[in-house]
């Protein structure tokens, strides 16, 4: 009888059991032979496919009053066979696609349907160069899973993925799914930069594409840009016989997307803040408290990135960052965005944007951070940002600057650059504990109780996690919004009142150092 039931063609057989509706369940249990009283309970409780899968045999007997053991077993058997049939018949494309090796000269173009004209230009050019060009299916499917299942096997066969970045594509759901699928396949992605939309992009796409190479289609002709794109896709074209100016042009044109976007958006860091003769400070002066010594390179680099973001958004940090670019040809580009260096495994040293070019020589910078404004200028700042790490948390400079911040009653924002660990006397535990416990463990004997309370209150209300690249990209906008909110409150106050400090506090400050 079970075989007869499975052979019947009915509407809900096309859907997965977990997505069946209560109506589908009624049809299913009727075919199995469940009695009317039990079916009424199923209907009354609105049991759908998801809830049916959670039912046990005892619940079928006691709760749904299915006293016939044979009917219960038949229902369970049909549910199991339905699940087994789903696993056998539904396309398991991702297993084979993940193992498929991309073929040379096979490219996949990601674009929004409204950008069909420029996509056709790029596609026709590549076809003339003997590439096989693929793109998304004209059928989008009914949901995300169908869309990915339609396009995943096609993308798996390609070697390179081209993304056309426009105002439409940077917000499109279709392109988002295709980009994340390409990242899952670990396909090299090259971005065709067509419009200035860096600030309008999804933060997840911005983080995903920031370090991938990009070709600037804005500041050069379409033919030149397509030629450079062709050279990227076929690096064997670049031989030692190529003119030096041509190779140099390619080197300057193919850069990380973040670098091109920052350059085109004119996000030039502003000069550092300085006080005028009357001692009044710039209203966007943000004091950055961070470790100057004894930190690992990735912490220093996170500080560099934070400084760049703040300066690019017109906050003055009082810090001058002098970039020493390893490639002298890039020395004329002061707007280069520091590369995210905390995931070195994601960059294969054997790969390059163009054959013969070393990506590190194009993107890697070493920054010399020089503080122009010292701790004594904390009284002029509007907000102090504390870049907290386990080492800096126990550093005397951190404690001094926190006490100064309390003396001058400056609001603080705490950013975590590394997770705080609990240090025992004999060993180190990997268990994270609350920051309140960190404070009580590390510095109760070094700071006055008022400073401890001041720090604890601000940490609890304003701690922002920037410990990883993903969290940095996700939480930096939150940091910027909080800074703007703090500065907005400050503007509503009278400048004279905001700068007035008890003269006795200066003698207290001198005792800190």
CATH label, 286-326+364-512, candidates 1.10.10, 3.30.70, 3.40.50, 1.20.120? 3.40.50
| pLDDT score, position 36 | 92
Strand intervals (E) in 275-424: 286-289, 319-325, 365-371, 383-388, 412-416, 421-423
- Taking the mean position of all CA atoms in its chain, how far away is CA 446? 38
Q: What single DSSP character describes residue 336?
A: P
Q: Please report which residue ranges of 56-133 form alpha helices under DSSP H.
A: 57-62, 69-89, 93-99, 116-128
Q: What is the CATH number that goes with domain 94-264?
A: 3.40.50.10140
Ranges of CATH 1.10.150.50 domains, the chain = 2-89
CA–CA separation, 85 and 79 (whole Å): 10
The answer to whether the Cα torsion of 401, 403, 407, 412 is positive or negative is positive
pLDDT computed for residue 200 by the predictor: 81
Vertex 382: Cα angle to 378 and 385 (nearest 5) = 70
Q: Which helix (H) or strand (E) holds 141?
A: none
Helices 244-253 and 222-233 sit at what angle, rounded to 10 degrees?
A: 90
Q: Which residues contact 135 (CB under 8 A, 6 or more apart)?
A: 108, 109, 110, 111, 119, 123
Q: Give pLDDT, residue 158.
A: 93
Beta bridge partners of 423: 428
Q: Where are the alpha helices (DSSP H) in 345-499?
A: 359-363, 390-393, 396-407, 435-442, 449-462, 469-491, 495-499
432 - beta bridge partners? Answer: 421
> Mean pLDDT, consecutive 10-residue segments, the chain of 513 residues?
42 70 91 91 91 88 90 90 78 77 91 90 92 85 80 90 91 89 91 86 85 86 85 72 65 78 55 39 76 72 85 77 43 40 40 40 43 66 84 75 78 80 41 52 54 63 78 87 80 49 35 29
Of 160, 214, 499, nearest in space to 363 by CA: 214
| Cβ neighbours, 10 Å, residue 218 | 11
At 351 the pLDDT is 42
Query: In the prediction, which pLDDT does 269 show?
Result: 40
CATH of domain 2-89: 1.10.150.50
- pLDDT value at residue 472: 85
Instruction: Report the alpha-carbon distance of residue 390 to residue 385 in Å, rounded.
Output: 16
Distances (CA, A) of 73 to 32, 65, 67, 78, 394: 10, 14, 11, 9, 65
Cβ distance 382 to 283 under 8 Å?
yes
- What is the pTM (predicted TM-score) of this model? 0.43
């Amino acid at each position: 009888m079970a075989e007869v039931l499975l052979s019947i063609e009915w509407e809900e057989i096309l859907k997965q059991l977990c997505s069946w509706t209560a109506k589908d369940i009624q049809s299913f249990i009727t075919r199995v032979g469940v009695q009317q009283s039990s079916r009424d309970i199923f209907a009354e409780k609105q049991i759908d496919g998801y809830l049916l899968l959670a039912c046990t045999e005892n619940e079928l007997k006691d709760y749904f009053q299915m006293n016939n053991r044979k009917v219960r077993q038949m229902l369970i058997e049909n549910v199991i066979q339905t699940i087994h049939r789903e696993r056998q018949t539904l396309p398991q494309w991702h297993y084979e696609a993940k193992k498929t090796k991309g073929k040379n000269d096979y490219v996949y173009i990601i674009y929004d349907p409204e950008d069909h004209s420029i996509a056709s230009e790029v596609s026709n050019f590549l076809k003339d160069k003997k590439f096989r060009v693929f793109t998304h299916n004209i059928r989008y499917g009914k949901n995300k899973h169908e869309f990915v299942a339609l396009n995943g096997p096609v993308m798996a066969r390609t070697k390179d993925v081209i993304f056309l970045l426009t105002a439409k594509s940077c917000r499109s759901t279709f392109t988002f799914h295709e980009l994340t699928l390409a990242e899952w396949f670990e396909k090299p992605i090259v971005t065709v930069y067509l419009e200035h939309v860096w600030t309008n992009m999804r933060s997840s796409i911005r983080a995903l594409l920031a370090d991938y190479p990009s070709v600037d289609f804005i500041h050069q002709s379409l033919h030149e840009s397509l030629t450079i794109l062709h050279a990227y896709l076929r690096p064997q074209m670049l031989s030692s016989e190529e003119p030096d100016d041509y190779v140099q042009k390619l080197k300057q044109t193919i850069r990380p997307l973040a670098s091109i976007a920052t350059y085109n958006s004119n996000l030039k860091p502003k000069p550092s803040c300085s006080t005028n003769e009357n001692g009044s400070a710039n209203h966007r002066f943000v004091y950055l408290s961070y470790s100057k010594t004894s930190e690992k390179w990735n912490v220093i680099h996170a500080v560099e990135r934070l400084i760049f973001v703040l300066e690019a958004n017109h906050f003055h940090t009082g810090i001058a960052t002098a970039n020493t670019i390893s490639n002298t040809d890039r020395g004329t580009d002061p707007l280069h965005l520091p590369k995210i260096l905390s995931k070195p495994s994601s960059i294969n040293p054997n790969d390059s944007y163009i054959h013969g070019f070393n990506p590190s020589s194009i993107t890697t910078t070493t920054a010399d951070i020089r503080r122009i404004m010292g701790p004594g200028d904390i009284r002029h700042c509007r907000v102090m940002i504390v870049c907290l790490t386990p080492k800096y948390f126990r550093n005397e400079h951190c404690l001094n600057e926190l006490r100064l911040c309390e003396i001058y009653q400056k609001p603080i924002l705490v950013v975590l650059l590394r997770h705080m660990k609990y240090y025992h006397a004999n060993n180190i535990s990997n268990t994270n504990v609350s920051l309140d416990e960190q404070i009580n463990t590390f510095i109760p004997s070094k700071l006055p109780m008022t400073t401890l309370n001041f720090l604890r209150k601000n940490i609890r209300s304003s701690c922002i996690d920037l410990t990883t690249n993903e969290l940095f990209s996700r939480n930096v906008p939150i940091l910027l919004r909080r800074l703007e909110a703090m500065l907005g409150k400050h503007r509503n106050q009278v400048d004279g009142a905001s700068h007035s400090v008890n003269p006795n506090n200066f003698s207290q400050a001198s005792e800190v150092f």
